[in-house]
Structure 1
Amino acid sequence: MKTLNTKRFSVALTLALAGACAHAAGFQHGFAADPDGKPLEIGIWYPSSAAVQPVAMGPTTMSVAVKGPVQGKALPLVLISHGTGGSYLGHFDTAMALADAGFVVAAVMHTGDNYADQSRAVDIMDRPRQIRRVIDHMLASWDGRAVIDPARVGMFGFSAGGFTTLANIGGVPDFSKIEPVCRQYPGDFACQLLAKSGSNVSPPTASAIANATDPRIKAAVVAAPALGFSFAPDGLKNVKVPVQLWRAEDDAILPHPRYAEAVRLALPQTPDYHAVPKAGHFDFLAPCSSALASIAPPICTSAPGFDRVAFHASFNATVVDFFSKALRAH
């Protein structure tokens, strides 16, 4: 297990700033076709030689080159899956750090489980299928697809997106574990979500599992995975790709040890594991603007003494380093 300290913060910040000089992040907003639902809204970041400028998207402002030309060839692709009620912009700083380092990044807005529509938030097994559709789009339909190396695809997921990532790389959850866990820990977020919806999570069908696993994904970063206990003890035995796993030590949403720790113990290969002191669940989200903090304080407030900006300098550099090594061209 690894923890982050002040020295690592400063080293990572230096790396992040150095990496930022290599490229500018181009950005496109678009949609991926989904034969089984409405088109999937996506944000795409990529290396570009175009000049960046501040662009406001709701309460979020990014310095990007909107529709700038794509720079590079045979670039790795990383998919991003957000948490329950999130947005494709929730990890924009991580996406920009990856683009600055030479990656193409596609973040999806999950249908029925986003900030504007949570009507299908408990239908968590539909998320991996949506990721497959986005990969299809990026490799076959996106206008910049010629620059992507289809053999170098990675995935990043946070919270419900962490569950999604595990399912996409071969994880098979056992949903029969949910009811007993929720009886014992009714305050857990997933248990509250289920209670509020009045729904039960149906066991994943064989076809849902088959539609989830995507062998094109060769490496994964998983942060604070939802329903981590559902993969214990052997639901991750088929995972063959390298995994970087993150846990916030003061996560009150997904408390230790039922989530990230359960995943760590179930993975057949030891993950690159990081526990972040004093961090809360939402500290994996990009640092909030004052505008976002004013309308969504629960996801923007960190514990006293925790510097989310400094943490993200280190976090993003560590994620970039992992994907750079795991998706190295052969």
Structure 2
Amino acid sequence: MHAAVRLLTIVTLLLGLMAPSVFAANVGFEEVKIPNGAEAPLTAGIWYPTNAPATPHVLGNFTQTVAADAPIAGNRLPLVVMSHGGGSWYGGHDDTALALAHAGFVVAALSHAGDTFDDQSRVLQLWRRPAQLHGLVDYMLDKWHGHAQLDAARVGAFGFSNGGFTVLVALGGVPDLSTIAPFCEAHPDQDLCEALEHAGVDLHIGANVPADAWVHDPRIRAAVIVAPAFGFAFSGARLSGVRAPVQLWSAADDRHQPHPYYDEAVRDNLPHAPDFHVVANAGHYDFLPPCDARLSRPRPEICSSLPSFDREAFHEQFNADVVRFFEATLR
């Protein structure tokens, strides 16, 4: 009898360890301003579990069902910080943020000043992005009004395109930006290089970037990296400092960052093999949420998919896989 009781106790404890950190009915949301030294404050969006009633709210070109500025439900909550792609903003992956928040995570996404839809003035000052992401983690763990309900030992990061580059640096990568100019000289017709030329960006910047410009954040314990930009800038030696587990995503029909210079370069040079996913028939922008008419008309280049690709169905699976990865690695 005593043995049976002990066994039941052990099973109960194990189930408790395996269970989500919080059971909440809805997702709360708020926008915050984060101090950024002498520059203007950074803007971030934060999604989190709540038991408050949720209603539809417009967020950019999307509508999300959230409880605005509601109380946070739960304690010792894991945190995932998000870094968007070039020319985007903090709401660029709102469906993934919502999925993580429904699963019990707090998600904080940053608008990277100088590389947003309304400000591309510092698009190739790539070292600014990891420093900004580091500041977001600082803010969330130390100054956010809900910081006492976070578990500082369970911090993850999600990054797409330029955001994937950003997260690789945060994990310990040290890119060589001097590779950008010769790469684009050899591949002038690639979308990335054409976009940089169209923006009038000087590609010869790598030699003037000191090694200590790249800010790492050892508090980040796991990362989802999606179609990372400038993958060719990371050799094996320059990714040797990455120790955290990585889930890496690649679009099989990525014409913006064509194979094998981006995702494959990262996959092959990480010191530990990532959880690697190749999505058949997907293009680069299929990792962005499905568009509605408000975005499809002005931005068809990021909203169009191949006729054989169901972006909505893919995102249901993608978000579920991202949630499972962080649940497994941020225990």
Give the TM-score normalised by structure 1: 0.90
Is 2:87 the counterpart of 1:82? no
Corresponding residue for residue 30 of structure 1: 32
Matched, 1:327 2:326: no
1:129 aligns with 2:134: no
Give the match for residue 211 of structure 2.
206
- Is the deviation greater in 200-209 or in 39-48? 200-209
Query: 1:23, 1:102 within 8 Å by CA — same for their partners in 2?
Result: no
- The answer to whether the 8 Å contact 2:60/2:91 transfers is no
- Aligned pairs for 1:40-51 (under 5 A) are 40-51=42-53
Alpha carbons 2:221, 2:330 under 8 Å: kept: yes
Percent identity of the aligned residues? 50
Cα deviation, residue 207, structure 1:
2.4
Q: Which runs of 5+ in 1 are unaligned?
A: 1-20
- Given that residues 152 and 327 in structure 1 are in contact (C-alpha distance below 8 angstroms), is that contact kept between their aligned partners in structure 2? yes
Where 1:39 maps in the other structure, the secondary structure is strand
What secondary structure, in the 3-state scheme, does the structure 2 residue paired with 1:90 have? helix
Q: Establish whether residue 306 from structure 1 lines up as the match of residue 316 from structure 2.
A: no
Residue correspondences, number: 309
How far the C-alpha of 1:233 sits from its partner, in A, is 3.2
Could you say what secondary structure the match of 2:236 adopts? coil
Counterpart residue number, 1:229: 232
Aligned partner of 1:139: which letter? Answer: L
Q: Residue 151 of structure 1: CA displacement?
A: 1.0
Q: How big is the shift at 1:22?
A: 5.2
If you compute each CA radius of gyration, which structure gives the higher value, 1 or 2? 2
Distance (Å, rounded) in 1 between the aligned partners of 2:222 and 2:59 = 30
| 8 A contact 2:24–2:50 mirrored in 1 | no
Change in Cα spacing, 1:122 to 1:90, as seen in structure 2 (3 Å) is same
Quote the residue 1:191 is aligned against.
193
**Match of 1:231, as an amino acid?**
F
| Letter matched to residue 284 of structure 2 | H
Contact kept? 1:23, 1:99, Cα under 8 Å: no
Do structure 1's residue 170 and structure 2's residue 175 form an aligned pair?
Answer: no
User: Does the CA-based 8 Å contact 1:188-1:253 persist in structure 2?
Assistant: yes
User: Which residue is 1:240 aligned to?
Assistant: 243
- Map Cα deviations across residues 210-235 of structure 1 (whole Å, 9 max, x no partner): xx111111101000000001002321
Asked if the contact 1:46–1:104 (Cα under 8 Å) also holds between the matched residues in 2, the reply is: yes
Secondary structure of 2:91's partner? coil
- 8 Å Cα contact 1:190/1:227 also seen in 2: no
Pairwise CA RMSD: 1.7
Highest RCO, 1 vs 2 (Cα 8 Å, sep ≥ 6): 1
After superposing the two structures, state which structure 1 stretch, 188-197 or 281-290, moved more.
188-197
Instruction: For 1:34-73, list aligned pairs within 5 A.
Output: 34-73=36-75
The answer on whether the counterparts of 1:83 and 1:160 sit within 8 Å (CA) in structure 2 is yes
Structure 1 equivalent of residue 3 of structure 2 = none
Q: How far off is 1:289 after superposition?
A: 1.7
Residue 271 (str. 1) matches residue 274 (str. 2): yes
Distance 1:176 1:68 in 2: 46
Provide, for residues 79-104 of structure 1, a one-character-per-residue CA deviation record: whole Å limited to 9, x for no partner.
11000100111100000000000000
Aligned-partner SS, 1:292:
helix
Aligned mate of 1:261, from 249, 261, 264: 264
Aligned match of 1:106: 108
Shift of 1:201: 4.8
CA apart distance, 1:175: 1.6
| Aligned 8 A contact 1:123 1:201 in 2 | no
> What SS class does the counterpart of residue 107 from structure 1 fall into?
strand
Q: SS of the residue aligned with 2:297? A: helix
- Gapped regions of structure 2 (runs ≥ 5): 1-22
Contact 1:224–1:281 (Cα < 8 Å) also in 2: yes
TM-score normalised to structure 2 length: 0.90
Relative to 1, partners in 2 of residues 1:201 and 1:71: Cα closer, same or farther, differing over 3 Å?
farther
